[in-house]
Amino acid sequence: MCASEQLPNIYCESLQTTLKRLCIAIVFSIAFGYIEAAVVVYLREIFHPDGFTFPMTVFGIDALSKRILLTEIGREASTIVLIFTGAWLFGCNRHQRFAYFMIIFAVWDIFYYVWLKVLLDWPASIMDWDILFLIPITWASPVLYPVLISITLIVFAVIILYRCSYGRMVKPTLPDWLAFFLSGLIVVVSFCIAGLHITEQDYASYFYRSLFAVGLLLSILTFVKCCLNSGKKVPESQFRKD
């Protein structure tokens, strides 16, 4: 989208252009969230006509359920591909593309719940439990926690895009990337541990909030460190539009 633009400075685009592109990305993500919510409306009507409640019943026993489960896993994988594709098209360089991936993912995730509230009047509260993902195993937690992740990603992405417009890139070092990976892994593990026990009566006791908090806090502290260590403006000779 930006490769053919001839700009008078070293930046891929001005702050004004970034804001316009960001607004379009948000609209795209909100619409994408509706598509996701609509699919869940159909699935709940088929498999949970009496209400979507925890603990969950055992799923995927008969052939039809297994086929639908595999279809749902494929749909989730395709969703990530679509988000990545959108981020690639919206961004002009690797920093912006990473930021737009976070924006699209986060807004999509938040509005998925907004649309479910509109369509099904669910969740009744932010602490209602949900199945978050199925790859490689089931993830589960109260709705609050994926929303916290999404809000954090939005803040990260907006800061990255703003700094990009002024040539002040956020430049993580290898240890920073390892810290981000570790923080993400900790959060995912906290969701997956809970997901393993969603058919048990005491399912809620298996979501370790302290473990989740460690992962989220580590990512925030690492990002702040990256911003503080990336204060200098990128010289034209080092700027790349890739």
- 131: which strand partners? 140
What does the pLDDT read at residue 4?
37
Cα 80 to Cα 32, 84, 135, 193: the distances in Å are 12, 6, 11, 22
Backbone angles phi, psi at 53, to 5 degrees: -130, 155
Does residue 12 have a pLDDT over 80? no
Does residue 187 have a pLDDT over 50? yes
Does residue 29 have a pLDDT over 90? yes
d(CA 150, CA 161): 16
Mean pLDDT (the chain) is 88
Instruction: Give the model confidence (pLDDT) of 54-90 as tens digits.
Output: 888 776 567 777 888 889 899 999 999 999 999 999 9
d(CA 13, CA 180): 27
pLDDT band for position 125 (50/70/90)? Answer: very high
What does the pLDDT read at residue 239?
44
* Extended strands (E) in the chain: 129-133, 139-142
State how far Cα 137 lies from the chain centre. 17
Residue 28, exposed/middle/buried by CB under 10 A (0-12, 13-18, 19+)? buried
Instruction: Give the model confidence (pLDDT) of 133-142 as tens digits.
Output: 999 999 999 9
What does the pLDDT read at residue 237?
44
What does the pLDDT read at residue 16?
86
Using an 8 Å Cβ cutoff, are 89 and 1 in contact? yes
Does residue 238 have a pLDDT over 70? no
Give the pair of three-digit tokens for residue 236.
């034209």
* pLDDT, average across residues 163-191: 94
> How does DSSP classify residue 11?
S
